[in-house]
Each structure stands twice: as C-alpha cells, then as structure tokens.
Amino acid sequence: MSNWQTYLQPKNLSEAVEALATAPKPLVPIAGGTDLMIDLEQGRHAPVHTLLDVTGIQEMLALEIRGEQLFIGAGIAVNKVVNHPEVSKHAQALYEAGSLIAGPQVRNVATLGGNVAHALPAADGTISLTALGAEAEITGIHGARRIPFQELFVGPGKSSIKQGEEILVGFYLPLKKDHQASAFKRIMRPQGVALPIINLAVWLERDGDTIKDIRIAIGPGGPTPYRAKETEKLLAGRIMNDETIQLAQESILAHVGFRSSARRASADYRRHIVEGLFKDVLQTAWDRA
Ligand SMILES: Cc1cc2nc3c(=O)[nH]c(=O)nc-3n(C[C@H](O)[C@H](O)[C@H](O)COP(=O)(O)OP(=O)(O)OC[C@H]3O[C@@H](n4cnc5c(N)ncnc54)[C@H](O)[C@@H]3O)c2cc1C
C-alpha cells in the first residue's frame, strides 16, 4: 500500500491555503523529500493521506532584499540558496552551513524550509539561521504570522508549525552592516550519518577591539536549537582577547546541554571539542568583521 493517497502541487500560497483547508487529512507538506520520504518508507512517519508539495509555490521561491532584510523562500533548494550572491554577502554562516549539507545530489532537491521544519537541534541550516537572528514567516488556514526563529522549535523533531494547518513560507534575515560578520563550522564523522557530531555558528558586530554584540548557536546543545544567551551577555562589550575567549568557553560549558547519541558522539566528547570549535568560529567571524 502507498504511504499516501493524494499528491497536491499548489502554484501559489492561496492555492496552498485552500488545500490545507479542504484536502483530506492527515496532510503533510513535502519539499525535497530527503527526510520525509525516508521516514515514510522506513515507518518512522505514520502514513499520510495527502502530500502537499511546496516546491512549486511561487512566493516560496523568492530570494530577495525586502527593505532592511533578506528574504529567503522556504521552498528553494539548498544549492540555489548557497549559490545566491546575496546569501554569501549577508549571511556567510548560512552559505557555509548550506554548502556542507549532504552532497550535491541531496542539496539539489533538499530545501532550507525542510531542514528547519524537521526541527532537529543540530540541522546545519537551522543552526546558522539561529545565529543570524532570523525570523520565520508561516501561513495557514488561520492567516499569516511572523515569529522569531527560535519560537519555531518546541522539542526534538517538534516544531510550532501547526501540522496540517500551516506551512513555513520563508525566512527574513537582517542585512549585514559594516563591522558585522558570521561564520559556521562543524565537526562530522567522514561518512554514514547525516547530522554532525557538533556544529556551531557565530554572528558578531565589533567596535575596534571590542565585541559590541554577538549571537552564538550550537547544535545539538539541547532539545531545541541552542542559543548560548548567557555567554552572549557575558561577551557583549568585552575586549576580544584570550581572557575573554576563556570566559566564554567556561560559560558555554556551564550552560550547554549536550547529550550522548548512539551513532554520533558522547556528551563528554562533545564537551571536549566544543571549546576548540567555538574559538575557531569566533576568531573567523571576528577577522571577517
Ligand atoms: C544522505 C543525506 C545526507 C544529509 N546530510 C545532512 C547534513 O549534512 N546536514 C543537515 O542538516 N541535514 C542533512 N540531511 C537531512 C536533510 O536532507 C536536510 O535536512 C534537508 O534540508 C531536508 O529538506 P527537504 O526539503 O528534503 O525536507 P523534506 O524531507 O521534504 O521535509 C522534512 C520535514 O519538513 C516538513 N516540511 C518541509 N517543508 C516544509 C514547509 N515549507 N512547511 C512546513 N513543513 C515543511 C516535512 O513535512 C517534513 O516533516 C541529510 C539527508 C540525507 C538523506
């Protein structure tokens, strides 16, 4: 028996909302299908009646400057996102994260929206967008809403997008100003598992030798994509030097919630490597800014 009965391909958001309102349930959005198809076929996702393909929705394929923000449609393939010049200019961490997701064949179909909507705490696109201070646009049968990126996540694999009633439309990122920059790196087993042992993104603004403002995201640093807010507060306004880096490393270790995962790494190993990874990413963003 097929894992679904109906496959819908709306061309715009009003057709998509109409489908959300009227198509037989259970209804699940599908983008590249690189996570969902495997989950359906391997029985990790309950069979669905309707698959709603979001990759032909024109509003979700836009990538453009809108006022003071960069809009990136959730239905765009990762490869197209990373090859867009506005992304490497305004969102270096996203460029770096997207370039590392899987291999070229997966990146040609996998979307940034699917990477985020799956709500995994160490998805590479998700961790970069967390540090970049993104907002998410969602639409559905009760209207549209725009929320801070972190409000999308409620637990491992659980998002606040109302299943069968809403879809993720896209992301808004602040445009990069002078003396601001970001960076993303990850530590990964060479093959076999999709998600990294640990990934980390930093966005910062510098004022001479001082860290004026900073955002730090670490995956998987908790049940949802982890933002190191205590460490950010500690660093804002401090001179960038070895003492500051050491304080930040201690603060991260005091607050981050690493866990052991059977196929990737132990919590102890993650604690061991996060200090070096943080220093490296911080220094890269600092030099760029
Ligand atoms: C071989 C391989 C390697 C991988 N490597 C990596 C890696 O290195 N890093 C990494 O982060 N990930 C990796 N992944 C995971 C996955 O490919 C990516 O997370 C990808 O971006 C998912 O996007 P998709 O468009 O294929 O999502 P889909 O599989 O289509 O959807 C994923 C989930 O999101 C939901 N969804 C999709 N779009 C929307 C939307 N617009 N609104 C609401 N819900 C939506 C679906 O219903 C589903 O629950 C890998 C996967 C494979 C198979």
In this structure, which amino acid lies at residue 132?
A: L
Q: Is the CB of 214 under 6 A from ligand 1?
A: no
Q: Is the CB of 118 under 6 A from ligand 1?
A: yes
- For the segment 195-242, what is each residue's pLDDT rounded down to a tens digit? 899 999 999 999 999 999 999 999 999 999 999 999 999 999 999 999
State the Cα–Cα distance between residues 286 and 212, nearest whole angstrom.
11
The SS3 of residue 278 is helix
Q: Is 3.40.1160.10 the CATH number for 181-288?
A: no
Whole-number Å distance, alpha carbon 62 to ligand 1 midpoint, is 19
Q: Is the CB of 28 under 6 A from ligand 1?
A: yes
Decide which of 3.30.43, 3.30.70, 3.30.1120, 3.30.110 is the CATH code for 6-53.
Answer: 3.30.43
**229-238: which pairs have CB atoms within 8 A and are 24 or more residues apart?**
230/254, 230/255, 231/255, 235/211, 236/211, 236/212, 237/210, 237/211, 237/212, 238/210, 238/211
Decide which of 3.30.465.10, 1.10.150.530, 3.30.230.10, 3.30.390.50 is the CATH code for 58-174.
Answer: 3.30.465.10
Pairing of strands 50-53, 27-30: parallel
Pairing of strands 135-140, 69-73: unpaired
- For the segment 141-200, what is each residue's pLDDT rounded down to a tens digit? 999 999 999 999 999 999 999 999 999 999 999 999 999 999 999 998 776 567 899 999
- The H helix count followed by the E strand count for the chain is 11, 14
Q: Indicate which residue's Cα is closest to atom 47 of ligand 1.
A: 29
Write down the domain spans for the chain.
6-53, 58-174, 181-288
State the Cα–Cα distance between residues 271 and 260, nearest whole angstrom.
10
DSSP assignments along 39-66, one per residue? HHHTTSS---SEEEE-TT-GGGG-EEEE
- Ligand 1 atom closest to the Cα of residue 74 is 41
Angle at 123 between CA 12 and CA 166, to 5 degrees: 30
The answer, as to whether pTM is greater than 0.85, is yes
Q: Is the CB of 13 under 6 A from ligand 1?
A: no
